[in-house]
Structure 1
Amino acid sequence: MNDRYLRSHRFWSGVVGFGAYGLLLAIDFLTETETRSMGEVFGDAFELALIVASATGVALLSGSVRQVREERRMLMEDLRVARAEGEAWRQRAQVHLAGLGEEIAAQFEAWQLTTAEREVALLMLKGFSHGEVASLRGTTEATIRHQARAVYRKSGMPGRSAFCAYFLEDLLPGLDGGRSAGPIRDRPSAGNGGADREPTASPMQFESTRR
C-alpha cells in the first residue's frame, strides 16, 4: 500500500510540475513585449525549468519524509505491542514454571531421591549429557551414570527418555488427548517388579489434587 501511494504521489507531482512549467513559460511569452533572441528564450526557459524541478523535488521529498515517519510510527507501535505481549507471556510463564518446579521437587521427594540424585536429575531434565553433568558437579562421568541409574530405578523409568517424558508430556500438546501418558506412568518399578506399585501421578496431577 505504501509503495502504491508513493508511485501515485510521484506521478502526480511530476504532472503538476510539468504543468506549472508550461504555464509559467506561456505567461512569460504572453507578457513579454520586447523581442528577444532565441538564446534569451532558452535561458529563461531553463531558469523556469530549474525552479519547477526544485519545487517538484521538494514536494517529492516532503512526501517521502511523511511516508518514512508514518512507517516509523507504525513500527514503533508494533514494537510496543510485541513488548507488551512478550512481557505478559513471561509473567504467565514464570507462574507456571514456579509451580512446575515445586511439583518436580515434590515428585523427587516422593521417589526418595538423595540430594545428589536430585541435582543430577534436574540437570538431565535441562538437557545436559552425563559428561556435562560431571563437569558441572566436579565429579567423574562414571559417578554420574551410577547416580542416573539410581534415579531411573527409584522412579521406575527404563531410561532417560522415559524419565524426561514423564515431566514434559503434560507441557506439550498431544495428538491423542493425553492417552499416550499411560504407558510411562503405569510402568512398574524396576525395584519391585510392579507387584505392589500404584501408577505414579504426573506433576500436573499433583497440582490438581492440591487444588
Structure 2
Amino acid sequence: MKILIVEDNLALNNSLKEILELNGYIVDAAFDADEAINFLENSFYDIIIMDIMLPDIDGFALTKFIREKGIKTPIIMLTAKDQLKDKIKGLEIGADDYVTKPFEVEELLARIKAIGRRISAEKEDIVKLENLEINLSSRTVKKDGELVEIPPKLFCILEQLLRNRGKVVTYEMLAGKCWEITEVPSNETIRANMKLLRKLIDPEKKIIKTLSGVGYRID
C-alpha cells in the first residue's frame, strides 16, 4: 500500500515515514496542506494520515477539500485534540478513523492494517494464475505451493496489474502507485523492476503481457 503522511512536525513526520517503510509501505511525506494537495494531484494513495494542526489550513479544512474533489482515499486523522466534538467533526466531514496524540505506534499500525483489510474485503483477495496463488490481503505469493518472497515494490506492481486485470497498466500508473513522488522513476527503471518480478514469478512471460512503450497487462 502507498501512504501519504500530512504532518508539520518534522521529527514525527520523519519517524512515521521510517516506521511505515520498515513495515513494507511506500510512503510520501507532506508538511503542510499545499504540499499535500500537490502530492494528491500527482500520485495515488491507499491511505492518508492527516494531522489536524497544520500551519496553513487545518486538517479539517483539508479533509473537506479532498472529499469535495471526489478523492475517496481513507483518511486517519492524527491530532492532539481529544475532545469528542473534534472527533465527531472529523468523521462527519469524511475522515475514516481518528488517533489521538500521544499514541503508540502499534495502535496506528493496527488501524492502518484494519483499513487495508477493509479495502481488500471490497475486492478479490485471492487470485490464482497458472501456478501462482496471490493473496492481496496478506500480500503473499505462492508458486507451485511454495511461498515466494516478493519485495514490497515488486508486490505493488503485481497488485496494480491484478487490480486492473484485463486493462493496460501504464508506466505512469505504476510510477504513481509504487514509487514515492520524489523518485520519478524512468520507464527503464520500471522495466528493470518488472524484469525482477518476472524472474520471481513469471520467467516464461506467460502471465504478464508487455505493451511496448505503454505498460503491462494481466488477462
Q: State TM-score, norm by structure 2.
A: 0.23
The normalised TM-score by structure 1 is 0.24
More helix as a share of residues: 1
Higher strand share: 2
* Larger gyration radius, structure 1 or structure 2: 1
